[in-house]
Copies of this chain bind each other. A is one copy, B any other.
C-alpha cells in the first residue's frame, strides 16, 4: 500500500455491528488492503451507551465532543485530543452525554476479521 490521507468525509459510515445504539463506524483501511491495521472514524450520537468485550487492541482518538469509557477498574472521560487505549480482552462500556463524539480509531488486528457478532 501507498501513503494515504483521509478526512472524515471520506468514510462511509454504517451502524456499528452487533448493537443498537446510534453509533456509526467507517473503515478507511482494513483487511482488504493487506496491512496489519484497520483505520477509521467513529461517530457517537448524544446519550448513547455500548458495552462490548474488546476482540482487538483498539486505540481511539477523540476529535470532537466527549465520551466516557467504563471498565471494572473505573471510568475515564476523554475530550478532544485525548487518546483512549482499549486492549484486547477488556470489557468496556462507552457512553456519550449531550455532545456526542467523533473519533478516529486504529485496531490491531482487523476488527471485522475477528468480529463474531
Contact = CB atoms under 8 A, between A and B. Distances in A.
Interface string A79-112: 0111111111010100000000010101010000
Central interface residue in A6, A64, A71, by most chain B CB within 10 Å: A6
A78 interface: yes
Classify the secondary structure of A's interface with B.
strand
A7 interface: yes
Interface string A35-79: 111010100000000000000010101011000010101001110
Contacts of A3: 69, 71, 73, 76, 84-87, 90, 92
* Chain A to chain B: the 8 pairs with minimum beta-carbon distance, closest first: A5-B76, A106-B106, A1-B87, A6-B83, A61-B104, A59-B106, A3-B71, A5-B84
